[in-house]
Structure 1
Amino acid sequence: MKYRTLGQGLEVSAIGIGCMPMVSGGNINYGGGGDAGEGVATIHRAIELGVTFFDTAEIYGPFQNEELVGEAIRGKRDGLVIATKFGFRFEGDRITGVDSSPANIRRACEGSLKRLGIDTIDLYYQHRVDPNVPIEETVGTMAALVKEGKVRHLGLSEAGAQTIRRAHAVHPITALQSEYSLWERGVEDDMLPTCRELGIGFVPYSPLGRGFLTGQIKSRADLPADDWRQNDPRYSEENFGANLKIVDAIRAVAERKGVSLAQIALAWLLAQDAHIVPIPGVKRRATLEDSVKAADVELSASELDELEAAIPADAVQGLRYREQGMRMVRL
């Protein structure tokens, strides 16, 4: 495994792991529920392969995913970078809205520490910007958690450029997490340049287009009826066929190099900046083992040019979320 540095000197494996799909049941289903035993085995295998960066969140399950990660890392904590997120309000297990009030941040932090079974969260993200709480107040509370030793580094997720600047002025931000891939490149206009300017690392989630870019999904019929992607505009009947052209372009490069489509999509992200660390979501060891090999895939300048020509930034058809989801990003 190769390693990279996010902001503030935080070193992590060049490929991190998104643990969200490991949830068995719960509120977010990709291709059927995960198996908890296989999820734990997958995290153990990742550690064996040199992966140090694991991403979860209070909202995944909710709560179940942090418990699974906590079980998996018990006795294996040393050297790992555990990232989790806060920012939502709950009534029982039901999410009722965003909430980055100081009281809710502290509630979330204590809950995450307990579920993960750790004393300190290595990277703590605000999951979504709360328009009702000034970012300065939010980061001020997060900074207090750093002083108390409960958090090491601060992150933001889906924050816009101006919000990033305001946050960074209160306390150094180590990483911005946002969707970024060969079919979602909106961050290239202002968010990514802002991170470069401020020395903030960038962590792309959904780097494989929620599985679309792997080439494994040939039609909407491949998705279970309760799959979250049934509601994804880019997987819709009207957009699915057009978006397969993006997969064809990735396949052309992958077949020549003798690697998987997923490895090409991840290698493309790694080639965009030395401080980019994608976190593909996995729930099985086989998928994990394929994805981590991307750290060793080198794309030549001509291959990068080929992908750029075949998949320009506006190639994808459809929004990445439905209207409600789009109202919560890049604030």
Structure 2
Amino acid sequence: MSTTDFTGRIDTVRLGGPDGPEVGAQGFGAMGISEFYGDTDEAAARDTLEATVEAGVTLIDTADIYGSGANEEFLAPFVAAHRDEIVLATKFAIERRADAPHHRGIRNDPAYIREAVENSLRRLGVETIDLYYMHRRDPDIPLADSVGAMAELVRAGKVRHLGLSEVTGAELREAYAVHPITALQSEWSLFSRDVERSAVGAAADLGVTFVPYSPLGRGFLTGAFADATKDLSTSDFRRHQPRFSGENAERNAALLEPVRKIAAAHGVTPAQIALAWVQQRSAVHGLTVVPIPGTRKRARLLENAAATRITLTADELAALEPIAGQVAGDRYPDMSFTSVAREG
């Protein structure tokens, strides 16, 4: 399969069961359009957004923290032009402050949720958000209070469906008892399989769609860089993630050999094999999986979409199975805000 001649549209699935919105089997993570991954090209980013609709990549994912709201504002013209063709997801809970640029607080209290949704609606230029996520969990706020406030947004017509991010299986079940949860978004890739401890099983039991973010391991699985400190710009946040620099990066780069070997056998890229592996978690675990790789280039968007047409054999899956257990370094310098920190 060529990575450059993808045509048509990807298959569709429904989020959260038969009554959920229909989306492409692969979504689009818009975070990198605004910041985090170095300099951006606005014209290329807008062309890439248009390619999502053309390819049937219709779940568009953003968050209020991305660019301190700039990402939502950037998406607004695209959303207005394609409102009936896309399913729009955004997130709240990570607080930034103008007076403290490096501050990252977690807010789950109902008053903050009500304020955050109004700000996102305004920036996006919409009356209703299709899928509204709690981006991170604050254990000091009762989950029933937070999800209850989110449910009020559904009743008010401001939000259609609810999602959670980086929660444990127990937390997902607790939240679902308050209001149905349509999607759970957490990191899941060949390098990151923490979610399989409890969250994946709970999502499968409840009929919740799993939306893996960073399915390409922040680009490391593609071979785009070997050492973040040496290869990436000073504005790229991956320079601060432990697994992508120094001895950790060197050890982790060696783990990519079976990915490259399988890619060569299929005539595709390592990125496509990594995405195909994530897509096939659906069959392995018995739940709907819609990964949201991000890119700022049309060619990469089409390459990613083509991965939905790759099927890995049992032997190939077995060859990839040990990788995550051998990865050196954590996902973040501070893992306290992730689900794995609360697994107990």
**TM-score bucket (shorter structure):** over 0.9
Partner of 2:231: 222
Cα deviations across residues 7-42 of structure 1 (Å, max 9, x unaligned)? 14332111100000011xxxx421x22122221221
- 2:54 matched to 1:45? no
The AA in structure 1 aligned to 2:313 is: S
Deviation at 1:74? 1.8
User: How large is the RMSD of aligned CA atoms in angstroms?
Assistant: 1.4
From 271, 291, 298, the counterpart of 2:311: 298
From 187, 197, 200, the counterpart of 1:189: 197
Cα deviations across residues 98-153 of structure 1 (Å, max 9, x unaligned)? 11111111111011111111111111000000122111000001001001111011
From 6, 23, 36, the counterpart of 1:29: 36
Partner of 2:95: 89
Partner of 1:10: 21
Alignment of 1:33-182 (within 5 A): 33-92=39-98, 94=101, 95-182=103-190
Deviation at 1:238? 1.7
SS in 1 for 2:325: coil
TM-score when scaled to structure 2?
0.90
The AA in structure 1 aligned to 2:258 is: A
TM-score when scaled to structure 1?
0.94
Question: CA separation in 1, counterparts of 2:182 and 2:308?
Answer: 21
Partner of 1:314: 325
User: Which runs of 5 or more residues in structure 1 are unaligned?
Assistant: none
User: Which runs of 5 or more residues in structure 2 are unaligned?
Assistant: 1-9
Deviation at 1:4? 1.8
**Contact 1:89–1:104 (Cα < 8 Å) also in 2:** no
Partner of 2:4: none
**Contact 1:21–1:33 (Cα < 8 Å) also in 2:** no
**Contact 1:89–1:98 (Cα < 8 Å) also in 2:** yes
Question: CA separation in 2, counterparts of 1:201 and 1:286?
Answer: 27
Number of aligned residue pairs: give it. Answer: 322
The AA in structure 2 aligned to 1:64 is: A
Cα deviations across residues 176-229 of structure 1 (Å, max 9, x unaligned)? 100000000111111101110111110000100000000121344221123211
Alignment of 1:263-278 (within 5 A): 263-273=272-282, 274-278=287-291
- 2:221 matched to 1:213? yes
Question: CA separation in 2, counterparts of 1:312 and 1:216?
Answer: 18
Percent identity among equivalent residues?
46
